[in-house]
Structure 1
Amino acid sequence: MAGDALSIAASGMSAQSRRLRHVAENMANADTPGFRAKRVAFEADGAGGVRPGGVTLDARPLPRVHDPAHPMAGTDGFYEGSNVDLVMEIADSREAQRSYEANLRMFDQVRQMRTALIDLLRR
């Protein structure tokens, strides 16, 4: 039972870690022309935990940016920017961080309970 709880908490930490990696990549590429934000969906695994699913690209249209001096600008002076919304990415990173920390606390609590049980059994 404790092993199951540890596995579930570990799966949550792993999934949120992957989510944070994609959020960081999105934020780093917010000014990269043509970059589409990446999203990670979660799937339930058979043991009650969670695992990251496939990565999808944000389907929102890329904004047209007018900058005739930009090397990627067409003859009309426009180029396609990135569809990364920094406010959403910051909110997403905070949510993922809090979820990771909650799973870490659960992992630690189960570990402490297991240690206390072993100590009781030794007496």
Structure 2
Amino acid sequence: MSDFSNALSLSASGMKAQAARLRHVSENIANADTPGYHRKTAAFEEVVAEGQRTGAVALGPVTLDPRALERVYDPGHPLADDAGYYDGSNVDLVLEIADAREAQRSYDANLRMFDQTRQMSSSLLDLLRR
């Protein structure tokens, strides 16, 4: 049964990491029009316990995208300089939507793995009861 527990734990860690990734993507989309906003990114890290690889993943530290902010011309904007420009955000909505879809599909794959493992363990218990 420990193999089933490990499989459930691994798929749960994947779902948790993808949910956190979706949270960052949604924050980026919500702040796409916020002046001075830098896009948040985070990479996945393998979880190591007691010096051993577990196979589980977690979302690593959040970093800000170092790309330059978009210069927006709007002389009437309160943040505009003497030339009429202000710093917008560096969020690319097409990239964010692609990241969201990838995270959603990865989450769904982990969920299917979780459900399949749960069904297999339930079937095994039914067989053992007979």
Q: TM-score, normalised by structure 1?
A: 0.99
User: Given the alignment of the two structures, is residue 12 of structure 1 paired with residue 19 of structure 2, yes or no?
Assistant: no
Task: Find the counterpart in structure 1 of residue 115 from structure 2.
Answer: 108
Q: CA deviation at 1:106?
A: 0.1
Task: Find the counterpart in structure 2 of residue 25 from structure 1.
Answer: 27
Matched to 1:121, the amino acid is: L
Unaligned runs of 5+ in 1: none
Report the RMSD for the aligned CA atoms in angstroms: 0.5
Q: Distance in 2 between matches of 1:35 and 1:81?
A: 7
Structure (1/2) with the larger strand percentage: 2
Q: CA deviation at 1:76?
A: 1.4
Task: Find the counterpart in structure 2 of residue 53 from structure 1.
Answer: 60
Secondary structure at the aligned position of 1:100 is classed as: helix
Q: Of 91, 95, 109, which aligns to 2:98?
A: 91
Secondary structure at the aligned position of 2:123 is classed as: helix
Q: Distance in 1 between matches of 2:77 and 2:127?
A: 70
Runs of 4+ aligned structure 1 residues displaced above 2 Å come to none
Identity of aligned residues (%): 65
Q: Distance in 1 between matches of 2:127 and 2:4?
A: 16
Secondary structure at the aligned position of 1:48 is classed as: strand
Between the two proteins, the alignment pairs up a number of residues equal to 123
Q: CA deviation at 1:59?
A: 0.5
Unaligned runs of 5+ in 2: 49-53
Q: TM-score, normalised by structure 2?
A: 0.93
Q: Distance in 2 between matches of 1:24 and 1:63?
A: 20
Q: Distance in 2 between matches of 1:71 and 1:103?
A: 46
Task: Find the counterpart in structure 2 of residue 3 from structure 1.
Answer: 5
Task: Find the counterpart in structure 2 of residue 40 from structure 1.
Answer: 42
Q: CA deviation at 1:45?
A: 0.8
Q: Distance in 1 between matches of 2:101 and 2:42?
A: 15
